[in-house]
Structure 1
Amino acid sequence: MKRNEIETKYTWDLTKLFPDQQAFDNALAKAKQGLAALIAMKGHLADTKDHFICYMETKEDMERYLEQCIVYANMSCDVEPSIPQNTMNKAAAMQVYQQAMTGLSFCDVELIEAKEAIDSYLQDEACSDFRYPMSELFRTIPHRLDAEKEQLLAEIGEIATAPAQIYDAFRMRFDPVMVDGEEQFLSDATYTSFLFHPDVEVRKQAFTNLYQEYERYGNAFAQMLKGHAKGQVFNAKMRNFSSALEASLFADGADQTLYDKVLHMANEKYKQARHDFFAFRKEQLGLKEQHTYDLLLPYIKDVNVSYTIEESFDIIRKALAPLGETYGKLLTRAQEERWVDCFPHEQKVGGAYSGGCHDSLPYILTNFTGNYDSLSTLAHELGHSMHSYFSRTTQRPLLSDYRIFVAEVASTVNEILLNNYLLKTSDDRQYRKYILANLLEQLVGTLYRQPMYAKFESHLHELIEQDQPVSSSVLTDYFIQLSKDYYGESVCIDELEGYKCYYIPHFYYNFYVYKYTLGMAVALSFVKKIEAGEVADYLAFLSKGGSESPIDELVHAGVDPRSDAVYDDAFTYFEDVLKQLKELM
């Protein structure tokens, strides 16, 4: 399917951000003007309280215009990368971003040198919004370098992000999948739909056709991952961290104790429940051999579940009704105001995300195919977008961006509320089995799968830090080893499974995946409170944005992510859901 074959109401409306090219050019020009003004302030950022306020507000405005341009250009390329103007806009916006990174590298150093004066300014109510950002900056003092080295790090920043940019730009073409004698289009977006097909040859062919392409470009992907990790390790060393992991955790105000706790709970303490789940699947399916391409095959029969995008919005509104009337009205706006780009088509990026910026709608990209996963994904991304909406409408731009550390909480709350609603509103035994089975899949993917990915990510960075050789075979062999331990004896691991390590986009980011598990555990705690009628603390959390540290935001909302009990409850919940399904079966 091509984009022009999709009804307009099912595509996002980016004209709400920029109605035409001239508007984009004007915003980029304002970003450049703001950047020039900031550079001209060098040496005088904190001479007086008024100088300091002027700097903070000018920087906020410059970043606001630049973010608009970057978001618009990236989203345009995600759906129509072949349009030259889209790629030109992206290049132009990223050029200004890099100029800002290098041109303003002096700012943090100068502000730190003026700490004593700034501390006095912050006592004034006119500077109250700057207190948390400045406290975060001053927290980095032990990891700051002199002006010359800061400038050097800023200048090589583009090199360090090159692997992720190359991965984002890389578009592969896969051999089609033969289904009932007809060729069907295979892409990263449509791949999952083939894994639901009852014919094992269709599933195997989709798996093979996808991952043989990753194998073909294995050396290139290995270099991307290696280059990304090297950049993270180099930056950590320069900033006096013991490891890239420590540097990443520091940014969220977390420590390795929390990280290790999450991985231990999933990979060790509650490992047996995961293996029991995969053995249960194999038994229910009656498979002599169970491969990874069989793991989405439904084992609940005689349930015809499909949803239109309209039906999905209706179900989600009802499921999230406990969050209140305002939340429900926003869900309706999301549908009517075209926040969502719904369907897969040629050249559209795969997967799903919630995006936008402070001055735009909280847009969503998804590749809706009408199955349960599509419904759940829509609810998930709407959770992100509601979080963004509440934060952006409550906080000024300087304080509206929430950290990745808490980003998965709101999305996962939506998923759990959706599943609970579907279970509560149906007496159909088969349908309840179906929902429980899908809930288990979500829990496995979030509570268990992500810590397995985190282990791979940690290992990759450790290899670089220990100056060990990193080749494609080193990475794929280790991923196969992890997969065997992850799935247990009930799942056969094919050779191509190793190349899945190149398929996971988060490996080109920085220690993100464990936060899915943390988010799920925290979300389950919030859902208990929400279903008991305690909604105010949760909505207050959604409105915090980046006005507090991530851990403080959660603690103030009544859930402490450092507590063992949060994770014990989450993994016990998984065991309970598995038990419920076994009893129904």
Structure 2
Amino acid sequence: MSNLPLREEIDDIYKWKLEDIYENEELWEKDYSEVKSQLSLFDEYRGNVNTAEKLLGVLKLKDEVTMKVDRLFTYARMRRDEDNSRSKYQALADRAMSLVVELSSRTSFIEPEILSLSEEKIMNFLEQNEDLKLYRHFLENLMRMKAHILDAEKEKILAEVMEIAEAPGDIFKMLDNADIKFPKIKDEEGNEVELTKGRYMTFMESENREVRKAAFEALYNTYKSMINTLSATTAANVKVNIFVKNQRKFKSSLEASLFADNVPVEVYDNLIKTVHKRLDLMYRYVNIRKKALGLDELHMYDLYVPLVRGYDKTVSYDEAKQMVIEGLAPMGDEYISILKEGFNSGWIDVYENRGKTGGAYSWGTYGTHPFVLLNFQGKLNDVFTIAHEMGHAIHTYYSFKNQPYVYSNYTIFVAEVASTCNEAILINYLLKNARTKEEKMYLLNHFMEQFRGTVYRQTMFAEFEKIIHEKAEAGEPLNAQMLQEIYHKLNETYYGPDICIDQLIDYEWARIPHFYSSFYVYKYATGFSAAIAISKSILEKGMPAVNAYKQFLSSGSSDYSLELLKKVGVDLTTPQPIQEALGVFENLLNEFEELM
């Protein structure tokens, strides 16, 4: 394992084609200039949104300009993500972000002016103008928000403040992706190698316990060395949320965050309560892990190593793609055709390079195909990451293809459904085709880890966010010691008595980027549970279920997220989907124990 390659050292066939957004940066500059000139067009509508024609005109203009700004921003940020150390693209991303803020400021009058109209008048406009009917759901959703929209001047100020409000997340990202340097550790052969975030999970899956421990200690001691800075960025992000909550007159930051998706706070609380009721399953899994590894003491750095020794399947990128294609065959020919197009047409940025943003994501901009960022390491987990991110990408593909711009972006609440549904269908295929007892146990272990990591761990993260926001809202200052103590106690609660809660795990919260997209992580757990139900339906019912699911994928944000899920048989306003998912986890535990 050598030091990370530079961006230019990686073959172009493994890089995404951002030229599909802008063939060259002169075209980016052209769009940038056009948007700057178009911003003044909003002035003619200010104070005049009082007829059906004016309402339609300003909404169409907003869509047209926002679409361009999205395109500019997406391109600039993805270029920056290729190598965060390149000042050229830091600057381009900063310019794009400033344009986002300027657009938000210029258009901040629109919603208050619409909301100054009576609901009756808006309904009359919809009847008068056929073209305006496209915006019915948008307008009805806006009326729902009426109590939380400020007057035009305050909305303008709030829009301008939000650029400053991005600072905690931006500072964290630059620290975490550009400035942070991890020490070298010794690998399985005793060679000194550079620890990176991308390699961390490879080390954590090592059968050599000393390698796992060294990686764990190196990673968390590095974050520990910056813990006061990271505590400050975390506390500042919480303060931003409280500021927005207060301005928009919500009872809590949690309520403010869920409101946009029209999700009641009870959905969040039910998740935590339902998971707490089945912590016995997590404790049982920890106990199984301890026994399977033959350890007197199980530590936090023992949580990721596969339970089946000697079965360490390494796959090439081409092999991984083929596994995903074969595994997702139940999704039908059309879906597989789109999947292959993504693999072969420059959608994906495959390998880690120096300065590249860590982890994986899918992103896109209306009018072009989606894109996927990977940091492929050749492990089984990377195969599932491909299936996961292509689930997002194909959701985006269907949504962009079938919805007008105003409804083209699905909500984050349903975003994890498509990705996790792919993973659940893939694991079913791999389990059915397992050739040996060891392979089956390895795959069961992987699926059990999905439940641990996606339901239990993300719910623990969600509870951490809830606690720190409630403490800050009650006037308690957040500092490093408090954050560490809260996080330590949660680990004790979620993992139970059969594991040593290493002191260094108290710093884990400091490296979680999702905490800067507050109250996001619970959606992994609810989305996972919904996906388990949908995948089960697809595998049992075949194409009728696939067709219903494709309708869901094609719906964008044309209805409320909870309602879209109900149309594919999942009701997250009840504990049932979570309970059913945990029932599947219990079956996996039973099956694994029988094979032990």
Q: Give the TM-score category using the shorter length.
A: over 0.9
Counterpart of 1:541 (choices 527, 542, 552) is 552
Q: Please report how far the alpha carbon of residue 166 of structure 1 lies from its aligned counterpart in structure 2 after TM superposition.
A: 1.3
Q: Which amino acid aligns with 1:460?
A: I
Q: Secondary structure at the match of 2:186?
A: strand
Cα distance in 1 for partners of 2:572, 2:139 equals 25
1:576 aligned residue: 587
**Which of 455, 458, 468 in structure 1 is aligned with 2:466?**
458
* Matched residue, 1:29: 33
- Give unpaired runs (5+ residues) of structure 2: none
- Counterpart in 2 of 1:215? 224
Does 2:173 match 1:164?
Answer: no
- The amino acid across from 2:198 in the alignment is A
Q: Tell me by how many angstroms 1:349 deviates.
A: 1.0
Q: Return the alpha-carbon distance in structure 1 between the equivalents of residues 283 and 312 of structure 2.
A: 28
Asked if residue 387 in structure 1 is aligned to residue 395 in structure 2, the reply is yes
After superposition, the Cα gap between the structure-2 partners of 1:183 and 1:40, relative to the gap in structure 1 and judged at 3 Å, is farther
Q: For the residues of structure 2 that align with 1:92 and 1:427, how far apart are their CA atoms?
A: 54
Conserved? CA contact 1:187–1:350, under 8 Å: no
Residue number in structure 1 paired with 2:508: 500
Instruction: Determine the structure 1 residue equivalent to 2:144.
Output: 139
d(CA) in 2 for partners of 1:484, 1:14 = 45
Which of residues 394, 416, 427 in structure 2 aligns to 1:419?
A: 427
What is the SS of the residue equivalent to 2:197? coil
1:181 to 179, 190, 195: 190
The residue aligned with 1:6 is: 10
Mean CA deviation greater in 436-445 or 194-203 = 194-203
Structure 1 residue 452: Cα displacement: 0.5
Task: Determine the C-alpha separation between the residues in 2 that align with 1:303 and 1:184.
Answer: 23
Match of 1:91 among 85, 91, 94: 94
- Tell whether the 8 Å contact from 2:76 to 2:96 is kept in structure 1 after alignment: yes
Residue identity matched to 1:149: K
Question: How do 1:190-339 residues align onto structure 2 when only pairs under 5 Å count?
Answer: 190-266=199-275, 268-339=276-347
What is the one-letter code of the residue matched to 1:568? Q
Deviation at 1:199, TM superposition (A): 2.1
Distance in 1 of aligned mates of 2:152 and 2:45: 16
For structure 1, which segment, 281-290 or 301-310, has the greater mean C-alpha deviation from structure 2 after superposition?
301-310
Structure 1 Cα separation of the partners of residues 461 and 312 of structure 2: 33
- How many residue pairs get aligned? The number is 583
Aligned counterparts of 1:252 and 1:439: Cα–Cα separation in 2: 29
In structure 1, the partner of 2:55 is 52
- Matches of 2:218 and 2:36, distance apart in 1: 45
Q: Equivalent of 1:62, from 62, 65, 70?
A: 65
Structure 2 match to 1:118: 122
Unaligned runs of 5+ in 1: none
Q: CA deviation at 1:255?
A: 1.0
Taking the aligned partners of 1:430 and 1:496, their CA distance within structure 2 comes to 33
The alpha carbon displacement at 1:380 in A equals 0.4
Deviations 1:322-347 (A, max 9, x none): 11111101111111101111111111
Instruction: Give yes or no for contact 2:227–2:507 (8 Å, CA) kept in 1.
Output: yes
TM-score relative to the length of structure 1: 0.97
Percent of matched pairs sharing the same residue: 34
Q: Which residue of 2 aligns with 1:106?
A: 109
Deviation at 1:366, TM superposition (A): 0.8
- Cα deviations by residue, 1:254-299 (Å, 9 ceiling, x for unpaired): 1121111111111x21010101001110111011221111111122
**CA–CA distance in 1 between the matches of 2:298 and 2:87?**
45
Alpha-carbon distance between aligned partners in 1 of 2:309 and 2:200, rounded to the nearest angstrom = 22
Per-residue CA deviation, residues 508-557 of structure 1 (Å, 9 max, x unaligned), is: 11201111111111111101211121211110000000111101111122
Q: What secondary structure sits across from 1:122 in the alignment?
A: helix
**Residue 34 of structure 1 contacts residue 59 of structure 1 at CA under 8 Å; is this kept in 2?**
no
Corresponding position: 1:81 with 2:81: no
Distance, in Å, in 1 between the alignment partners of 2:84 and 2:135 is 39
How far residue 434 of structure 1 moved from its aligned partner, in angstroms, is 0.7
Q: Is the 8 A contact 1:66 1:97 kept in 2?
A: yes
User: Whole-Å Cα distance in 1 between the matches of residues 122 and 206 of structure 2?
Assistant: 62
Partner of residue 42, structure 2: 38
Q: CA deviation at 1:302?
A: 3.2
Q: Distance in 1 between matches of 2:370 and 2:245?
A: 33
Alpha-carbon separation, structure 2, partners of 1:498 and 1:566: 31
Q: Which amino acid aligns with 2:271?
A: V
The answer on whether the counterparts of 1:189 and 1:349 sit within 8 Å (CA) in structure 2 is no
Give the letter aligned to residue 401 of structure 2: T
